[in-house]
Structure 1
């Protein structure tokens, strides 16, 4: 059924038109033949080889020098970076140990152990609980804490295995002996499943009232690299911590646990020992698995404060740590190789760069022409070639869109055509409607399709229906909508198509919902059926199973099918009228044939009866035709008599004319053969001159291209010379800066000498002061040592600056030599270009002479061709005249026979 609520959406038919630019036919020219090998190719090869040599040697020299200094600088930076890492880990180790000393001192000062009053009232269980809380509070740093009396017996302990008497333990005795905290060397034990590393720290417990030692507190710590050094296991370096005995007790490499420093890193160990226990040292260890860069940093603070000669070692594989050098070398080799290759192929690259986008565009257009519409041109830049590529891509996309739209439109057209053809097979209106609802329901896959027809009062009845099984039928149902005539007749007459996806959300009135609910309608689609410009009925599709979102293609198809149903009804009505008119015309035509039957016997005096219908018009035309035919027959009779007389008189003259025309054609043919031979000779001369002109033109173009290539080569060499000159200036400035550094270093050396002298004087004055100046003497010694180290470092820096100055001078000399070689190459290319210019001038003179010959031959050829063409025309006219004369003679004979026959035939008509 239809809803006619004004709140529903109206879908008007629309077609999207895609306008394509007109196609342009292009003739693909034949590619020119390959140019012959000549001396030009050899000269270009020599120039290219010279340019490669002149450009590559300075680049290699500069690159090798730069690589040498950069490699040395990067190596030193990497070593300093690893040493910084070792020092950072050593600082973390010292910070961790110092924190543990503070922890155990704080534990020893707890009131529960040190205060006599609190200690006396606190039970053993409370003390144990206190220690357990400490273990928990330190978040796994300690796994056992215990308190002992002066005899080594346990007073309290944290959870764990009961602890025996510790009177003989080294840490117990040292803590009581020294009266301060003591850290023992780590212990390494193998429990068959993993390596366990622990060390203990102990401190004396002093009575807060008397200050006397009353016991010892001991804390045990399990060792782990991530806790001791606060490092991430995912780092690429490996870390090792060495104790005072030179044993590795903590490492990220579990295989090295328990090994000695000398066994694991013999080269680094010897370096540290040779330097009298250096605080920091680095070297390359050649190990069986891989070479490694290793650095050692001594824990000086632990040595000074706690007599712990510990150190930290950082190890990194050489292939990882020196990766930047290998990348730098690879970059140098690739840069040099690419530079050499670039100079060699520069000319070919410029040509290919100009032609390649056009070839790609041509290939893309060819593929698009073959139907591969997904072809796209890769576009870069914003020049005309990029615009061409964008236009080709846009054209392909629009063609693909057009094809898709045409395919969808073709499918809808096919459906409309098939249904229209099936509707055209039925002459009866009801058969048309029944077929239409069945076919449309099948194509839309709707639950019901009906035709809702109106009477003269716009009251509707369902006159045709196709409904799926399980849904109520609406056939012959009368539905009266009082608002339809007033509001919606004119809208549907104008072609309104209404789609409702869900009747319950469309804002329909209660009365409309009840009309639809009785037929189980959930969604509907309505289109008008127009006949002779008037609204005849509505074609309605119902979806009863569930709401349905009608697609625009379905709406367009439904609208077209509704229009075709209207056309089919028009055809049925017209067919019925045509049948009636046909019967009427057949009866009147039979009467006309009977009236004009005497014409078969040659009686031209008969007249047909004229009426007001179509047959009357034919009868009137018949009468006029017979009247005209009667006049024509009279004229033909007179003309036949005149033709007979004229033919007899002219037959002899035509025979003589034919013989003369044949003789004239033979003489003209002979002259034409002689002219054709002369024309062929002139054409051969003109063709030879044309070929010579083309060859000279090609030679000129080739020389011009060589000159342009020489110009580009000169520009490239000049650019190389400018670059080398600028580089030499920069290196010279580097040498000047090195000299300034040398002066500053000398000044620093003098400062160090003066500082050393002042420190010596201060030491002498402190010695004179006696015991009171001892501290000042120590400070003066430290200053003197620092001044000596500064002087030594200043000497090394001065030596390094001198080396840099010497190498810089060598690089400047090499670059000046390279500049001179580039200048010689430029002069050689200029001489080559002068020779090419002379060849160009000579080629132009030859081209002018050949062109003059070609033009003269072309004029002669045109003149001979014109004469030949004229003679051909004359010969053709003569042949044509001869043939026509022969045909006229034969025609006169035939005409005489026809005139006799015509007189006999005309005599059969009755005209009076």
Structure 2
């Protein structure tokens, strides 16, 4: 044929069932003739008529139908299918090709009618091929007969790689009969998934003729049953694998649960099967919650145990203390009686103290008046002192003016001396006529000398007066400061006396309140005595109750010790 052939690595199964005599003839190179072939063929097969063959077909179909309800593995099902087809369909050679669902490739898995050497050769030459490539090559409309596909040798080698194994010799071909290069493929359709799950490759018909549509339909009946059986076997295999995986997961889960049963809460459930994962997750969550609860319970148990022991010790001390308290209450009763008598004495003394406080207020008021008068006198002294300071300052300023005047007189004296000196010099130059003027100049010099001496004395007196004035001024200023300080002290004394007056008045009020309180206390002391008697009675009841509580705590300590020993069975992760 001139049509393009698709590429494929699929190698169809070509199987021929030979007898031992045929093998010997092949080795010697002689082809068997028709008479010898008729001798080699099974006498039983030649003697079967159509009715017997039909009966056998029905029996085999029933047997294959029983396989649908049997829990068999795929290998066992393939053996049964191959045996039935080779017996009932009239083909001596059969190859079963199945689709690998994971790889989506088709590969031969079983052979019938081949020797061990031929099977090894086919296994070496045939490789798994993609499903879609194989189906594109085989399942063409021009090859279809019924639901099967017959590829005549007239179409040539339809496989690109020439992977066709010829088993029958070309000499065995008769025109119009089965050619060694003819191929018959029967698809295996899964009724569950409605897709091709495998192929039957048939070869070497017993009658040597091209199969009719009726014989192909017979093969298809077996193929349909085989497809159902293979589908069920795969389901069974998957179920077995699922069951084994589930059993392994359950076994592992059982081991973990046994450890958990022994109180080991550190364990975490492990899952090797997806269906167990929700259970494992729920168990792990429960273990986490239980671990948290048990951990909290252990902590609480330990705390309760410690507190129970502590309360037991405290109750023992409390019982002992209650007995002592009962004795102390008697002593308190006596003390309160003494206190009542003393409160009466306090009331009397508080009245006397109140009278004294009133007198102290009067004295304080008189002292406050004297202090006010002293403050006024100190103010007058302060004014007089400040007036003296101002007078001394004015005197100092006047002395400064006199000093300046003395300086002017001294300057005038110096000028007069210079004038007398100049006059003497001029008189000397004039000679005799200037002698009278020389006498005047001498008198002027003498007068200037006396004036200078007097000016010096006056300046010395004035400086002495200024110094003494300064000393007096400083003394007056210091006195003024002392007067100011004394005024402030007297003022502070007045303030203090006023505060003392206020405090004394408050003290008087407080003392009056104390008097009232003392009277009330005196009246309430009898009530206190009665209350102490009631406390004494209640203390006896408390002592009795404390002894009962001590017994209850002893029982509680026993229970907490037992609970703690039971909780110690659980082992938790360290946090």
Q: Same fold by TM-score, threshold 0.5 exceeded?
A: no
- The structure with the greater share of residues assigned to helix is 2
Whichever of the two has the greater Rg, that structure is: 2
TM range, smaller chain = under 0.3
- TM-score of the superposition, structure 2-length normalised? 0.28
- TM-score of the superposition, structure 1-length normalised? 0.19
